[in-house]
Amino acid sequence: MTNIHKRLLVFIIGLPLLVGVVVLFAEPHHVGFNLVAIIASAICTVEASLLIEKKQKGYRSELLRAALIGMLLPGVTWLVVVEALPPEAPVFTLITAISVIFATQVLRKNQADFDKVVGHITSLVTLIIYPGFFISFATRITTLPRATELLAAFFCIVFLNDSMAYATGMLFGRHSRKVLAVSPNKTLVGFAGGFLTSPLVVIVAEWLRPGLFPGGLPARIFFGVTVGAAAILGDLAESALKRGSLTKDSGQLIPGRGGLLDSADSVIFAAPLFYYLYLFVFL
């Protein structure tokens, strides 16, 4: 089975499965989706931690610690959604976690160990923010009106963007100009295919479910283009992280795609923008 067939198979199975979890387990408080988001954040954080370990002086990946860091902010955000914690809890948790990371550095026993402090702090703070803090905004989407439909639309916007970029690049981009050194296999044609798909998804979603993206056509196009751009940047940012660690894939969890982080990178970047932009543009 070729790589493109593996990617296509994962897309055909993965996207309907994810949308099914969103739709079938919508109550109470989208418990199915939020549990998946918390677990996915833990796995992605472990993969990111292993990438950082390869190049960052003074940082040693501990899988359990990385998994707990990844679960922290998505978990706290979900507890806010179910009203078990006050709305300020995620910010308090973020500040507390970063403070603990800084404070514990003074407990090093040997003078020679202090040359590892900067690498240790920057690595752990990075792991708290990426991917956990970003993924927590996917949980925040569940607080929006018509959240089930919006979550389904969100994943279609992101994953169809990625899939169309790959497909158009493979079919029409063999002789197209390469765009960025961080991802030399991606072409201008591929970027265009993905970039144009996202606003089209928003327009179709509004046509199928009137009122989901209220307002005029320009607002929908702007929203789709912006979220689509964030999805593309998410993919490129993770490529930069892998290139910096001299690694091709973040893991081997998903056939044809590598690790979970390799598939979730676009979601991670797009979720905060989708949430806030929907508030500003449509509510």
Half-sphere exposure of 92 (CA within 13 A, CB side): 8
Q: What are 42-58's pLDDT values in tens digits? A: 999 999 999 988 887 76
Average pLDDT of the residues in 181-202: 79
> pLDDT at residue 252 above 60?
yes
Q: How confident is the model at residue 181 (pLDDT cuts 50, 70, 90)?
A: low
Both tokens assigned to 202: 């928003």
Taking alpha carbons only, the member of 39, 132, 142 closest to residue 82 is 142
Q: What are 128-157's pLDDT values in tens digits? A: 999 999 999 999 999 999 999 999 899 899
Q: How confident is the model at residue 174 (pLDDT cuts 50, 70, 90)?
A: low
* Angle between the N-to-C axes of helices 260-282 and 134-141, in degrees from 0 to 180, rounded to the nearest 10: 50
Taking alpha carbons only, the member of 142, 202, 144, 140 closest to residue 22 is 142
Average pLDDT of the residues in 166-195: 69
Q: What are 184-194's pLDDT values in tens digits? A: 666 677 777 77
